[in-house]
Structure 1
């Protein structure tokens, strides 16, 4: 889901200070960069020093690459950043409660806007359309995790013609690192993610048990109404393929709205529920989700609920991101705890 909340980190005097510090950290030698990004040609003769990100993962990549001083501002968040990045993020101003206005972004004087979701700078332009930034002289980078093989659908999140693969996340890391002039840091970050995935998948599913089925519940407009759950081709589906389990919802849409009657008919072995700091809907609250599962006459009869096979996962891990690797780790641990891995 794309409705995002923010955490408040605004500090006075940040803009000038961050610009000065960014200059100090600029590589002495910079190789000009040209690349195709989601159908748009980008060229950089020098590294960007004032980056505005739209989407938590875009900001986290910049932070994880050690380039916090270049991050002028950010917007479109679900949660505070993970603990490992919190200190680096402490100076970053947050622009708006959901999607910052075009004028608000331009006021930060960015020399690059990096966006996680097509919906924010694509044709619908919840902040602005990409061509508006181009006309204003600001280059934009759109995450390939959200533009590759994505098509319009009945929901704003779109649908996928082909399943998400982790390689598109690695591509984003490498490209942003190269644009910023620190390609070696991109290599190191990808290697660390690959190591974590390898560690999480060392154990195999028990041969004497069938592969479990999983439902990912992100949120709902209202408890008891249709649930926004993961389709069969997004980041949760990649987590499933990585661990050898199966999604119960066969939909190409990223986050289809599904009735609890349909969920009951599928009767998943495991339900993953998304936790987040935002509170746009009642079901954003993880405790509200858990209470619903325990008390709703239909939901409490589900196998996963009766057997206590409920996994709490940061909602940001359910969208393609650095945090998706944490999603693999959490579900792998749950599979061990629930007896599906040996």
Structure 2
């Protein structure tokens, strides 16, 4: 894990600088950024990039930079439908973690990374220093290190509630790096407008006592599940929509027993749908079967009343898909007749 964390103040300052640039202003190189505790200097707009992480890949596509992408890795779900054709033409280096050699072989001008632990001091792909030694700069999406300690737990621990501004910062900074700032500004404006509309729709329900739990997966079907902690993107969604998170851990994805969850009796259960099959519980249909057949989970209010929402797994991690998840969840709540 990469021990150093980026403070909210540093990221806020970087975002403020980007926000104050004139609309459509060209990037001035060399561009200097503070990226997850590392001083990053970009001498010119990269002519190519390898993206290690679906969140970073889809931001690049959304910025119209697919022609720069030489390879991708770390996928949970199908790519966004509008990018299916272009994505099929780009080499997938690995479904999960790529090798250092496979990334370097592409000779990219930049490597973008979704999770800090891929290129931290114990990086499972390589360290940032190893990439620098071969002349390749690396950029980590700020959402994975803003107010987050990645040295503790397998997925890190949040020091403060996730904010969508950290996703926006990644969009704006990547747009600056590739000298397409106006595209970044347009994408962020769209994300903000959609989020505001989803939140308004849910808030009109005036929920007071409703609660929820987000189930990502489980190492084995009948053991403690990986559920969303109280400060990550799912917790942010719940807070915005007026739902109480029944999980109190600051870990990003702690394991919590079903007995503990059943005692909390959440009003709504949100489960992840993904293409990955590392664990049996990655299959959302197996999740549904388990919830309805297990002696403990089958007695939960949300299961008995079929208050279960299926969300794209990737939308539960920091990404531009968080807004789609908010929209889906907000759209499902009215039919549940919650209070």
Cα offset, 1:119, TM superposition: 1.3
Distance 2:132 2:323 in 1: 33
User: Structure 1 residue 161 and structure 2 residue 164: aligned?
Assistant: no
In structure 1, the partner of 2:60 is: 62
**Corresponding residue number in structure 1 for 2:107:** 109
1:180-218 Cα offsets, whole Å, 9 max, x none, are 0000000000011111112212222434x5231110000
Q: Displacement, 1:152?
A: 4.1
Aligned counterpart for 1:201 among listed residues 199, 202, 226: 199
5+ unaligned residues in a row in structure 2: which ranges? Answer: 1-23
Q: Does 1:272 align with 2:233?
A: no
Asked whether the 8 Å contact 2:149–2:156 carries over to 1, the reply is yes
Using the alignment, how far apart are the partners of 1:235 and 1:202 within structure 2?
18
- Matches of 2:338 and 2:260, distance apart in 1: 25
Match of 1:289 in 2: 287
Question: 2: CA distance between counterparts of 1:30 and 1:331?
Answer: 38
Residue aligning to 1:142: 140
Is 151-160 or 253-262 further displaced after alignment?
151-160
Partner SS, residue 92 of structure 2: coil
For residues 209 and 136 of structure 2, what CA distance do their matches in structure 1 show?
A: 48
> Per the alignment, in what secondary structure is the counterpart of residue 232 of structure 1?
coil
- Matched with 1:319 is 317
Provide the rounded CA distance (Å) in 2 between the counterparts of 1:53 and 1:254. Answer: 22
Q: Does 1:306 align with 2:304?
A: yes
Alpha-carbon offset, residue 241 of structure 1 = 1.6
Q: Which residue of 1 aligns with 2:70?
A: 72
TM-score, normalising length from structure 1? 0.88
Q: What is the Cα deviation at residue 166 of structure 1? A: 0.4
Partner residue of 1:171 out of 169, 172, 178: 169
| 1:180/1:154 CA distance change after superposition, 3 Å | closer
* Superposition TM-score, scaled by structure 2 size: 0.89
More off after superposition, 331-340 vs 51-60: 331-340
Corresponding position of 2:188? 190
Superposition CA RMSD, Å: 1.7
* 1:153 to partner: Cα distance: 5.9
Q: Provide, for residues 264-309 of structure 1, a one-character-per-residue CA deviation record: whole Å limited to 9, x for no partner.
A: 1111100000000010110000110000011111110011001100
Bigger mean CA deviation after superposition, 268-277 or 29-38: 29-38
Residue 17 of structure 1 corresponds to: none
Aligned length in residues? 314
Written as runs of structure 1 = structure 2, the 5 A alignment for 1:112-123 is 112-123=110-121
- Please say if residues 205 and 244 of structure 1, whose CA atoms lie closer than 8 Å, have aligned partners that are also in contact: no
Q: Relative to structure 2, which stretch is displaced further, 218-227 or 116-125? A: 116-125
Is contact 1:61-1:322 (8 Å) kept? yes
Structure 1 pair 205/225, CA: closer, same or farther in 2 (3 Å)? Answer: farther
- In the alignment, structure 1 segments of 5+ residues that lack a partner are 1-26
